Amino acid sequence: MTTAPAESRETRLRRLHMRSMRRGTKEMDILLIRFSKARLDQMDAEALDAYEGLLEENDQDLYQWISGQAPAPDIHATLVAEIAQVAASG
Is-above-0.85 flag for pTM?
A: yes
pLDDT value of residue 3: 53
CB-CB contact of 35 with 87 (8 Å): yes
Chain segment 22-67, per-residue pLDDT in tens: 988 999 999 999 999 999 999 999 999 999 999 999 999 999 999 9
Q: What angle, 0 to 180 degrees and rounded to 10, lies between the N-to-C axes of helices 26-39 and 9-21? A: 150
pLDDT value of residue 2: 55
